[in-house]
Structure 1
């Protein structure tokens, strides 16, 4: 029994945010400071299955996490996140630790096989929905937190960076 408790404690500590890398310091303090117009990062014509497979292969090869960004160009929070990904302080961090693939989910009616593959079979609860995936195991790392940035407009730029950094070990 004590071995089981020790192993459980070890696993909990291994995945806790305390083991995460520190987030980059973001120099902007509000989203009005992002380049405008905000990007429209979702390609409606993209073959989602192929794009995710290619991004996973690249992430695995480069020893990065896979970040699957599910959203739509109609979504202001998705576009803010796209602008944040272009912000130099965060871009350097993301380029080093993540392989990002953006997948258009329409009005939650397209490319739903992608979230379903990771166990999200109910209707998506918000956009963007972010899936942080270990490309070696193809396992979702942020289950229960996939819509944490679906209200990005109410967050600070630093809070977005902090959220993204917590998954990097």
Structure 2
């Protein structure tokens, strides 16, 4: 599982492609976490992702890919628009659950983020698990 924060130098497209390949093989969902290191809500979500119960849910049901949209990467911003096409001003983090076939199941830019607490994020993860 990725550590806290977002790696602006990571090959986000490559990581997403690898996660989708793995999801096709094991049936888990892909959780895309679009955010920024300066984003307070993103830091709050990171703290929850690091808690044992949430880590277990992620390990059982998801491939997590964290994508930095807080820097100058136009490629990462384009990826966000690919998976969250409704546009406008994005409230971070934007969490997108993608099925093993590549279909977006939920996009929190459209639906709103769950509460960024253990209960809120864990309920979100359970709801969209395979």
TM-score when normalising by structure 1: 0.66
Q: Which residue of 2 aligns with 1:130?
A: 95
Structure 1 gap ranges (5+): 1-38
> What residue is the counterpart of 1:47 in the other structure?
11
Correspondences of 1:50-129 after superposition (within 5 Å): 50-106=14-70, 110=74, 111-120=76-85, 122-129=87-94
Shift, 1:117, TM fit: 2.1
Give the TM-score taking structure 2 as reference length: 0.84
Aligned length: 125
Unaligned runs of 5+ in 2: none
Q: Specify the structure having the higher radius of gyration (Cα).
A: 1
Residue 139 (str. 1) matches residue 100 (str. 2): no
Deviation at 1:96, TM superposition (A): 0.4
- Offset of 1:119 from its aligned partner? 4.9
Structure having the higher strand fraction is 2
**Cα deviation digits, residues 9-30 of structure 1 (max 9, x gap):** xxxxxxxxxxxxxxxxxxxxxx
The question of whether the paired residues in 2 share the 8 Å contact of 1:70 and 1:103 is answered with: yes
The answer to whether the Cα contact below 8 Å between 1:118 and 1:139 also exists between their aligned partners in 2 is no
